[in-house]
Amino acid sequence: MSITIALMFVGVMAASDGGSQREVVIPSEGASIAATILVPGSSGSAPGVVIVHGSGESDRSNAWTEAWASGLVKRGIAVLHPDKRGCGKSTGDWRKAGFDLLGEDAARAVELLRAQPEVDATNVGVIGFSQGVDVAPVCASRPDAPDFVIAVSGSTVPLLEQVVHEIDLEAARGGEPLSTEALATVTEIHRLALAFALSGSGFDALQEKLERAATSGGALGKAVSGVPRNRDHWLWGWMRAVGDFDPLPFWQKVEGPMLFVYGGKDTQVKAAVSVERLRRAFEGSDKNWSVLELARNGHALVREDVLDFAARWIRDRGAP
């Protein structure tokens, strides 16, 4: 069914809206995840949601996730807002973590949020942002799955393709769109980079290809500038941990309601490609999935009406 619409407590503080917030630390594999639990002021058991951060460094100071966390709690949803593994007050290292390990962090957070006395333990989900949309279905495909998933501005294509899409969109945004030939070169370079990360071989061939692309100048040179030129760069370890991850098989295992939110002017994710991939995968199934598309919005999407919709969707458990 698809609907498209164009554990350890550290401290407790009162919130200005009559709710409360408390600092917690969540034990996970090889790390301690620091987080804030935000509880709405309304009486009764509230639905709950765990924030799942996107790529790179991200913690509770992230303006995007903070806006969603505060917006949802004002609308009666309890929120667990963590510092990503290795960021803020959390220990561990996201640079060495695959999406399975980050999914474990999210699962432990769901477990803790379900145990809160103010929270409806039968209606606790996760909300992933950007690359957090790769982590969310991993968490949601587990036996101890969250009850729903919200995916905001995240791709559903394999990770290598995600990277190439972002490079292609960034070049177009900068006024230097990549030609078909240049895009093929970018794709090949990233395939070589992944092969080196996984096998430890082929570094010289990769560097030779990189050098030719870099000296060509123009859009192609800029497009490959982020690929490391030294063997000991931390990025190789991260690529080894995540591989060419494909989120779709995990989305196909999700049993609960799924909501996908996209901006039509996203310059990091090709939303139409991701939505079409979901349509093909879910065609003929009884999956409860919805797509909310905002034609004029970009990647870091926050809108009051979207927060209204998301809060109602959570309370209604994804009902049409």
283-320 confidence digits (pLDDT tens): 999 999 999 999 999 999 999 999 999 999 999 999 87
Q: How far is CA 319 from CA 16, 141, 203, 261, 289, in A?
A: 31, 20, 51, 16, 10
Nearest to 231, CA basis, from 188, 269, 185, 193 = 193
pLDDT at residue 42, as a whole number: 78
Q: Is residue 275 part of a domain?
A: yes
Pairing of strands 289-294, 149-152: unpaired
Q: How far apart are CA 222 and CA 170, in angstroms?
A: 10
Backbone angles phi, psi at 252, to 5 degrees: -70, -20
pLDDT at residue 19, as a whole number: 82
CB 184 within 8 A of CB 168: no
Residues 18 and 66 in one domain: yes
Q: How far apart are CA 1 and CA 97, in angstroms?
A: 34
Q: How many other β-carbons are positioned within 10 Å of the β-carbon of residue 257?
A: 21
Residues 75 and 99 in one domain: yes
79-104 in b/e burial notation, b at 16+ Cβ within 10 A? bbbbbbbbbbebebbbeebbbbbbbb
DSSP-assigned letter for residue 94 = G
Q: Is residue 176 part of a domain?
A: yes
Q: How far apart are CA 124 and CA 273, in angstroms?
A: 29
CB 64 within 8 A of CB 84: no
DSSP string, 127-187: EEETTHHHHHHHHHTSTT--S-EEEES---S-HHHHHHHHHHHHHHHTT-PPPHHHHHHHH
pLDDT at residue 10, as a whole number: 41
pLDDT at residue 17, as a whole number: 57
pLDDT at residue 217, as a whole number: 76
Residues 131 and 175 in one domain: no
Q: How far apart are CA 262 and CA 179, in angstroms?
A: 26
Residues 195 and 224 in one domain: yes
Sign of the CA dihedral running 30, 56, 166, 135: positive
Number of domains in the chain: 2
Q: Is residue 214 part of a domain?
A: yes
Residues 130 and 251 in one domain: yes
The last residue of a domain, from among 227, 242, 257: 242
The last residue of a domain, from among 216, 242, 268: 242
Q: Is residue 320 part of a domain?
A: no
Residues 46 and 18 in one domain: yes
Q: Is residue 174 part of a domain?
A: yes
Q: Is residue 114 part of a domain?
A: yes
Question: Which regions in the chain score pLDDT beneath 50?
Answer: 1-16
Range of the domain at 187: 159-242
pLDDT at residue 13, as a whole number: 44
The last residue of a domain, from among 219, 242, 265: 242
pLDDT at residue 260, as a whole number: 98
Angle, helices 99-114/132-140, rounded to nearest 10 degrees: 60
